[in-house]
Amino acid sequence: MPHDIEHDGAALADIHRHLHSHLPPEPALRVKALESLVVERGLVAPETLDAWIELYSEHIGPKRGAQVIARAWVDPDFHARLMDNATDAITEFGFEGNATAHLKAVENTESLHNLVVCTLCSCYPFSLLGMSPPWYKSAAYRARAVREPRMVLAEFGITLPEDVELRVWDSTAELRYLVVPQRPEGTEGWTEDQLAGLVTRNAMIGTDRDLGPGVR
Interval 99-152: pLDDT, tens? 677 999 999 999 999 999 999 988 999 889 988 888 999 999 999 999 999 999
Angle at 85 between CA 111 and CA 83, to 5 degrees: 20
What's the mean per-residue pLDDT of the chain?
84
Task: Specify the range with the lowest mean pLDDT, choosing from 7-21, 40-54, 199-213.
Answer: 7-21
Q: Which of 36, 57, 121, 138 is catalytic?
A: 121
pLDDT given for residue 4 in this prediction: 40
The answer to whether residues 137 and 212 touch, using CB atoms and an 8 Å cutoff, is no
Task: Specify the range with the lowest mean pLDDT, choosing from 48-52, 145-149, 172-176.
Answer: 48-52
Domain boundaries along the sequence of the chain: 9-59, 62-205
Active-site residue flag, 121: yes
**Model confidence over 73-108: pLDDT tens digits?**
999 999 999 999 999 999 999 887 766 779 999 999
- CATH homologous superfamily of 62-205 equals Nitrile hydratase alpha /Thiocyanate hydrolase gamma (3.90.330.10)
Q: Nearest 10 degrees: CA dihedral of 36, 40, 41, 47? A: 80
Residue type, 63: K
pLDDT given for residue 5 in this prediction: 39
Active-site residue flag, 118: yes
Active-site residue flag, 21: no
Q: Which of 36, 123, 132, 171 is catalytic?
A: 123
Residues in a beta bridge with 78: none
Active-site residue flag, 123: yes
Beta strand pairing status for 176-180 and 103-107?
parallel
What is the pTM for the complete model shown? Answer: 0.75
Question: If you average pLDDT over each of 1-15, 46-60, 123-137, 200-214, which comes out highest?
Answer: 200-214
